């Protein structure tokens, strides 16, 4: 006999609904027959990240939280794109727009909220948008293409994020706010003014104390008028003035509704078989519009509905927010607006030049409000103290100026029951348990969800892993699949004569052919064996199989070698012809003084190379890339050394030499250093009587001035010293270790000792090894004529 499952229907597919179902199916797998109805035609997505979709930094799919496979695996039926029109409580059915009925035993209302649109005249025009859903984003982005100017009505958190997103579409964007400063929910006037300056520096414009009267335009938006009689011209308008709970279904079903659907501490409505969760809920007189409270509600709802914990009760949430705008750091908690009162102490730190503003509102020793703008180093500690109602010490500065060490102390000082991740309400105790069970930082999100909401607690998670994590012995290994550090691995490979990646994995490895380990081993074997290396194509990253750099859409970029950045009219003409013939998506002058052809299909690569008749520039692999030059003595009136000739000689000699990571070089003809040689992996700078060679520079994620390795008299000596350094780096650097880290680890003094002793055997050996490698060099683009596999350049094979 089969017992019929409880039929659970969910109206809504927002974040609260998704989370509730996730929690319910975890607690009671298979117990409910669950169907979710969503008006939006998508699966559950992360609405917080919509501004990233609008900005183009994320695709709509990139913010999906649960896949359709996930719903299948949890046995949940997802009906997306169907709007429920009515709840018939007497018959316990819901009815959709087409009149279809679905019966329920238990019902969850998660209808969220609707955009709040102020009373504005003439708003039904093309070019007038609200900002609430993926579809809204797509409509806005599509319309923005034909616009020059946009206005965003609403200077709150979402309005600012939307406005920042619109800047990425190349528009002039004006934010219109009724109040005298932005984000009045979170900020006070001083911090508001500071934030305004920050955002203006990013290109946003602001109009404050402007109440919109009407939209101008007959066939499309043309401008806005304000109640003070002024007006502006604009091509489109996006409204982001806040939200109102979507309670129509509940009102019509005669549930108790005040500002929103009234729920008790179990998230039950006035009908015990009907629960509600999310922005449509009113709990103890409060309505929430942030993600952490919704998740907390979802947990309580799941505990109560499944019976996992009938006593679970929602007690309300504390509010904190983080503005997600690139280049602006702002965190706020609680109520930090100006107010006085007994027992209230306000601590402020203001640094106008750098746009830093920090404020703590403390009542009876506990934080009740905080603003951190411009420098959020201490944010984690402040947020934890707020969330956990920690009684503060006397020195408030410790909290405001946390810094890395103080933060580690901060999390160390927390109780085990203290919240670390406030988005997902994850406490310190369970995190420590997970970490001591062997979980590493990169897996912590997948295992516990911590850090996967706003990401604000990541510094604390790092501190916890550092404090409680097992020291990972594999950190010292060259690759994960072989438990040996590089020197021991090299010795074993040589001793046993292992010449292929599969041989190394088989003889020395852990038995797996870990895909993340294969490219590192291929690189190492190539360095050890040179021409005797047994190449296995499956160990290579795609870029090294087709000798081009894969792009986000699966096409490739092609950068031919132009030694020293010196080209010719004939070469430019050929490049132009190729770009036209193959419909190249973009022709780009690179930072390395070369020309990049982007958007080339895999199957076109051999033809492009053939028509170019130029060698590979290796702009896709861990190898010698390029050598920038200035014009040096050829034309420049300051040049003291022939930098172009030397740069061409360097690039011609070392082109394509593979290494643990890429090598970018430059040669400058005088100390003015126009080629920026001192922030390159290897640089040479002319001085009146010779050249300075420096190594370990960087101007990427981190900026580091290169260390001076040697001062030499002639270009030949420059070539020799560079060759030695490259070979030493190839033999001794860890896989994917760039030169700055390598130089710091080994030490410039040691490099000088080893590489500059002209009489030593080691130097002779290094010179011979790099010379052999140079002689062994073969242009990989020759494979265009003779593919190593029939389908090497096939992007798809028709069946």
Give the span between the Cα atoms of 297 and 299, in whole angstroms. Answer: 5
By beta-carbon proximity to another protein, the closer residue of 341 and 798 is: 798
Which residues neighbour 153 within 8 Å (Cβ) at sequence distance 6 or greater? 118, 120, 159, 176, 212, 224, 237, 238, 239, 240, 241
**Out of 85, 488, 536, 676, the residue judged to bind another protein by CB under 8 A:** 536
Q: Under rule CB under 8 A, which residues in 186-205 are in contact with another protein?
A: none
Helix axes 605-612, 569-581, angle to 10 degrees: 160
Is residue 109 within 8 Å of residue 249, measured between CB atoms? yes
Give the span between the Cα atoms of 633 and 639, in whole angstroms. Answer: 5
Least Å from the CB of residue 658 to another protein: 17
Least Å from the CB of residue 602 to another protein: 8
Per-residue contact flags (x/-) with another protein for residues 455 to 494, judged by CB under 8 A: --------------------------x-------------
Give the span between the Cα atoms of 514 and 479, in whole angstroms. Answer: 9
By beta-carbon proximity to another protein, the closer residue of 70 and 206 is: 70
**Alpha carbons within 13 A on the beta-carbon side of 32:** 27
When asked if residue 540 is in the footprint of another protein (CB under 8 A), the reply is yes
By beta-carbon proximity to another protein, the closer residue of 218 and 799 is: 799
By beta-carbon proximity to another protein, the closer residue of 29 and 554 is: 554
Q: Under rule CB under 8 A, which residues in 31-70 are in contact with another protein?
A: 59, 61-62, 64, 66-67, 69-70
**Out of 3, 437, 516, 786, the residue judged to bind another protein by CB under 8 A:** 516
Give the span between the Cα atoms of 196 and 214, in whole angstroms. Answer: 25
Least Å from the CB of residue 71 to another protein: 11
Give the span between the Cα atoms of 440 and 436, in whole angstroms. Answer: 9
Per-residue contact flags (x/-) with another protein for residues 601 to 620, judged by CB under 8 A: --------------------
**Out of 539, 684, 685, 719, the residue judged to bind another protein by CB under 8 A:** 539
Retrieve residue 212's tokens: 């919109």
Look at strands 682-687 and 84-88 and give their pairing.
unpaired
When asked if residue 790 is in the footprint of another protein (CB under 8 A), the reply is yes
Is residue 453 within 8 Å of residue 424, measured between CB atoms? yes
Per-residue contact flags (x/-) with another protein for residues 551 to 590, judged by CB under 8 A: -xxx------------------------------------
By beta-carbon proximity to another protein, the closer residue of 519 and 784 is: 519
**Out of 103, 310, 470, 537, the residue judged to bind another protein by CB under 8 A:** 537
When asked if residue 270 is in the footprint of another protein (CB under 8 A), the reply is no
**Tokens 């659970």 -> residue:** 8
**Tokens 């009906």 -> residue:** 79
Give the span between the Cα atoms of 523 and 541, in whole angstroms. Answer: 11
By beta-carbon proximity to another protein, the closer residue of 399 and 600 is: 600
Give the span between the Cα atoms of 280 and 90, in whole angstroms. Answer: 22
Least Å from the CB of residue 434 to another protein: 15
Least Å from the CB of residue 545 to another protein: 8
When asked if residue 515 is in the footprint of another protein (CB under 8 A), the reply is yes
Least Å from the CB of residue 436 to another protein: 20
Q: Under rule CB under 8 A, which residues in 410-449 are in contact with another protein?
A: 442-443, 446
Give the span between the Cα atoms of 402 and 418, in whole angstroms. Answer: 18
H-helix or E-strand spanning residue 194? helix 189-201
By beta-carbon proximity to another protein, the closer residue of 69 and 340 is: 69
Least Å from the CB of residue 480 to another protein: 10
By beta-carbon proximity to another protein, the closer residue of 209 and 507 is: 507
292 closest CA partner among 422, 98, 427? 422
Is residue 660 within 8 Å of residue 733, measured between CB atoms? yes
What's the start-to-end Cα distance of the chain, in Å?
48
**Out of 541, 636, 652, 767, the residue judged to bind another protein by CB under 8 A:** 541
Which residues neighbour 694 within 8 Å (Cβ) at sequence distance 6 or greater? 677, 678, 682, 683, 684, 685, 706, 707, 708, 709
Sites of contact with another protein (CB under 8 A):
59, 61-62, 64, 66-67, 69-70, 442-443, 446, 481, 502, 512-519, 536-542, 545, 550, 552-554, 789-791, 794-799
């Amino acid at each position: 006999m089969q017992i019929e499952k409880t039929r659970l229907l969910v109206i809504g597919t927002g974040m609260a609904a998704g989370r509730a179902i996730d929690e319910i199916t975890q607690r009671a797998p298979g117990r409910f027959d669950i169907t979710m109805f969503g008006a939006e035609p998508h699966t559950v997505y992360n609405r917080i990240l919509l501004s990233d979709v609008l900005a183009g930094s994320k695709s709509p799919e990139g913010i999906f939280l649960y896949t359709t496979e996930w719903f299948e695996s949890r046995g949940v039926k997802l009906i997306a794109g169907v709007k429920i029109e009515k709840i018939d409580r007497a018959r316990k059915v819901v009815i959709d727009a087409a009149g279809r009925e679905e019966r329920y035993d238990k019902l969850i209302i998660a209808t969220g909220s609707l955009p709040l649109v102020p009373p504005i005249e003439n708003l039904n025009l093309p070019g007038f948008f609200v900002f609430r859903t993926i579809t809204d984003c797509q409509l806005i982005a599509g319309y923005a293409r034909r616009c020059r100017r946009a206005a965003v009505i609403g200077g709150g958190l979402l309005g600012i994020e939307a406005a920042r997103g619109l800047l990425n579409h190349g528009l002039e964007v004006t934010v219109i706010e009724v109040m005298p400063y932005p984000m009045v929910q979170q900020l006070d006037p001083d911090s508001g003014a500071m934030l305004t300056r920050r955002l203006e520096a990013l290109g946003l414009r602001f109009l404050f104390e402007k109440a919109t009267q009407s939209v101008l335009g007959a066939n499309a938006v043309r401008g806005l008028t304000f109640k003070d009689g002024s007006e502006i011209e604009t091509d489109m308008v996006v409204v982001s003035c806040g939200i109102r709970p979507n309670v129509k279904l509940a009102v019509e079903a005669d549930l108790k509704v005040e500002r929103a659907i009234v729920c008790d501490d179990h998230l039950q409505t006035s009908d015990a078989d009907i629960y509600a969760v999310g922005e449509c809920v009113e709990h103890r007189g409060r309505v929430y519009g942030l993600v952490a409270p919704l998740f907390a509600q979802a947990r309580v709802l799941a505990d109560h509905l499944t019976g996992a914990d009938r006593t679970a009760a929602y007690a309300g949430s504390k509010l904190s927010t983080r503005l997600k705008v690139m280049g602006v750091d702002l965190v706020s908690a609680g109520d930090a607006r100006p107010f006085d009162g007994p027992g209230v102490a306000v601590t402020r730190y203001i640094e106008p030049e750098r746009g830093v503003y920090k404020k703590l509102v403390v009542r009876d020793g506990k934080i009740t409000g905080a603003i951190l703008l411009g420098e959020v180093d201490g944010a984690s500690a402040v947020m934890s103290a707020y969330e956990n109602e920690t009684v503060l010490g006397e020195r408030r500065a410790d909290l405001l100026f946390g810094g890395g060490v103080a933060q580690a102390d901060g999390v160390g000082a927390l109780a085990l029951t203290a919240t670390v991740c406030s988005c997902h309400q994850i406490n310190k105790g369970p995190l420590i348990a997970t970490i001591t069970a062997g979980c590493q930082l990169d897996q912590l999100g997948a295992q516990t969800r911590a850090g996967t909401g706003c990401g604000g607690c990541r510094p604390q998670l790092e501190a916890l892993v550092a404090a409680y994590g097992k020291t990972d012995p594999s950190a010292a290994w060259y690759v994960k699949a072989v438990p040996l550090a590089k020197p021991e691995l090299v010795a074993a490979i040589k001793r046993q004569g292992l010449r292929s990646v599969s041989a190394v994995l088989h003889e020395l490895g852990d038995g797996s052919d870990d895909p993340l380990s294969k490219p590192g081993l291929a690189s190492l074997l190539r360095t050890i064996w040179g021409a005797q290396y047994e190449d296995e194509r499956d160990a290579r990253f795609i870029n090294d199989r087709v000798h081009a750099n894969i792009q986000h859409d699966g096409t490739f970029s092609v950068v031919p070698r132009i030694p020293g950045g010196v080209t010719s009219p004939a070469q430019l003409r050929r490049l132009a012809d190729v770009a036209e013939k193959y419909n190249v998506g973009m022709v780009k002058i690179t930072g390395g003084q070369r020309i990049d052809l982007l958007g080339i299909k895999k199957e076109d690569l051999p033809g492009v190379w053939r028509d170019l008749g130029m060698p590979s520039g290796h702009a896709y692999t861990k190898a010698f890339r390029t050598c920038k030059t200035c014009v040096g003595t050829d034309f420049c009136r300051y040049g003291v050394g022939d930098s172009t000739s030397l740069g061409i000689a360097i690039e011609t000699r070392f082109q394509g030499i593979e290494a643990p990571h890429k090598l970018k070089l430059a040669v400058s003809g005088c100390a003015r250093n126009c080629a920026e040689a001192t922030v390159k992996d290897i640089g040479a700078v002319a001085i009146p009587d010779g050249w300075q060679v420096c190594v370990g520079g960087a101007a990427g994620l981190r900026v580091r001035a290169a260390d001076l390795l040697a001062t030499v008299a002639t270009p030949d000596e420059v070539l020799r010293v560079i060759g030695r350094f490259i070979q030493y780096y190839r033999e001794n650097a860890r896989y994917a270790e760039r030169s700055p880290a390598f130089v710091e680890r080994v030490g410039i003094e040691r490099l000088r000792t080893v590489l500059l002793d002209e009489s030593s055997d080691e130097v002779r050996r290094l010179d011979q090894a790099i010379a052999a490698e140079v002689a062994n060099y073969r242009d990989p683009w020759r494979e265009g004529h003779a593919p190593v596999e029939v389908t090497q350049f096939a992007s798809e094979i028709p069946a």
